[in-house]
Amino acid sequence: MNINKELKKYIINNIFPIYEKNEIGHKINHISYVIERCFELSKDEQVDINMLYVIASYHDIGYYIDYKHHEIISAKIMYEDDNLKKYFNEEQLKIMKEAIEDHRASLNREPRSIYGKLISSADRNIDIDESLKRIYFYSITHNNQLSEKETIEECYEHAIKKFGKENGYSKFFFKDEKYKNYLKELNSLLDSKEEFIKRLKVIIDNLKN
């Protein structure tokens, strides 16, 4: 990808280190995954690759400040970063800001631009175990008063609410075989609470060892 070298250098040196402040499910490995998926999903779209890179790089930057409203905070941090004005005009900055604001799976409307749809879709996992890890880390970080049994129960309920085939709120805006297969496998796992719990327990045990 022909990303502007100076822009990329600035983000790597000044933005990526901030992700160490986030909980483990939203650190730099997640950002790297989202960047890669953004490029993959955008291959047939007419988009500015530098804008897409910035959107993906900043989309969770405010998570450690307030995870409940991190999309708003992240968008504000990006929009107010004066260094980006060297590379983008006001209209481009506004589009990027709106895309970051629109990336959450729980958004109750469609993102306002192709960039919002790309970052929202790229933010979805395509690996079952990685998805379960992220759900688990979210639970133990934000509900650490729960017992392990209660945590596992909460993880199952969260997965059903987000990905369940009946009324799951997670959205995806592109045709993608990887996500299609992931969702099929995940829903098959969710159909059996016993199997879900068994698989999650293996993941938890591996994390502890």
Please report which confidence band the pLDDT of residue 73 belongs to, taking 50, 70 and 90 as the band edges. Answer: very high
Q: Which of 207, 34, 29 is nearest to 129 (CA)?
A: 207
- Which of 27, 40, 29 is CA-nearest to residue 1? 40
Residues 125-151 have a mean pLDDT of 91
Residue 12 has pLDDT above 80, yes or no: yes
Say if CB 120 and CB 100 are below 8 A apart. Answer: no
Q: What does pTM read for this prediction?
A: 0.93
pLDDT of residue 165: 82
- Residue 145 is predicted with a pLDDT of 87
For residue 201, what pLDDT band results from cuts at 50, 70 and 90?
very high
HSE of 199 in the Cβ direction (CA atoms, 13 Å)?
19
Q: Are 71 and 63 in contact (CB under 8 A)?
A: no
